Structure 1
Amino acid sequence: MNKLLLLSFTGLILSCSPYKKYADTAASWEEEITKLEYKDDAESYSDDAVLFIGSSSIRIWENIKEDMAPYEPIRRGYGGAHFSDLVHFTKRLVYPHNFQALCIFVANDITGGENDRSVGEVMTLFKEVVSTVREKYPDTPIFQIAVTPTSSRWKVWPQSNKLNKALKAYCEKHDNLYFIDSVAPYLNEEGTPRDELFLGDKLHQNQAGYDIWAAEIKKELDKVLK
């Protein structure tokens, strides 16, 4: 390949990079990420910890230590994380830690808003996050937690569930990559969300919801780690 062709090819790759395409999605989260980095300096964990990264369901999980016992959780969720901004912060959230498994939960790329990403876009971003993690942790188990069905976003559940299916299919094709399908316990007999498991916003879980979530996550961790 001659030098001109190589430069053109490199430029094409960079122009398609999610880091460039979604460059404007990072700045608004900088303060929160910096605060999480301060936690890295203040807190210590064993190498057997389980790292949780992602959006507000991770960030506000105040009882995660008790709920996830006997696993030792590291909680590094921020705001209303999207995969389109997580790609910028993966190294900063993950690389400072030693852990036996990584759990990811991000559920804000498809909400019914004008800035929604397509399933294909989200999958591209998810793969980039996984690739970034693999640069330092080539064999560490990664668990992607399903998008939870909620009444507040029920109108876009078909798209969100399509994303869940795409994530599951991708995980099943790759070593040490697992999908936690936690959807069923959040649906009632009519197949709609169980609002009693959520706060008044019908989006974020209450403790009853977290009890279910923790049980589903631990069940899948046990299969792989024990």
Structure 2
Amino acid sequence: MLKAERAAYILHRLQELYPETPPPLDHSDPFTLLIAVLLSAQCTDERVNQVTPALFARASTPQQMITLTVDEIREIIRPCGLSPQKAKAIAGLSRILLEEHEGLVPADMEALERLPGVGHKTAGVVMSQAFGVPAFPVDTHIHRLAQRWGLSSGKNVTQTERDLKKLFPREYWNRLHLQIIFYGREFCSARGCDGRVCEICRHCYPKRKNPKLTLKA
């Protein structure tokens, strides 16, 4: 099966399995989404959704957030892990939004990536889910599945993102990003599948005899 054929099958099957793609992180606007995505680094979405209600009850806007000290933010978000760095980033980006962007989250990748604690993946999620701009944020899970499915042999998430953008039509990027994550969690997790177990792996590589070792992002 050629790579283009695998991509076409995967796109079709994921559309069937996940016709709806609700964002996994609870939020009410671009700012609360930005904070939730920042908190999700090395943390589960479920844990983030347990923590953010208390944080947003205190501060759901940049104006409110800067009234909290870094230590206050840190105490609230502690269950998410990496709380010292994340609290400092949340305080810093809130101040920058007020000073440079009139308190609004910019709908611009480069401007987002200049904010403290906001990397390329976080910026991509905000662009796609808050503003509907086509993006293909690649995390370690998407990176793993792209290799298992023979869509990319990239040694890092940057190369994997480029490969996936070439394979799939731009109008599908935002939904497909989430569909791959949903599928990976349900059927093709790091421990639940080794490239020979789940439906898509078996369809794409029916003769694969050995586990598919993936390059870490």
Which band: TM-score by shorter chain?
under 0.3
RCO higher in structure (CA 8 A, sep ≥6): 2
Report the TM-score when normalising by structure 1: 0.26
Report the TM-score when normalising by structure 2: 0.27
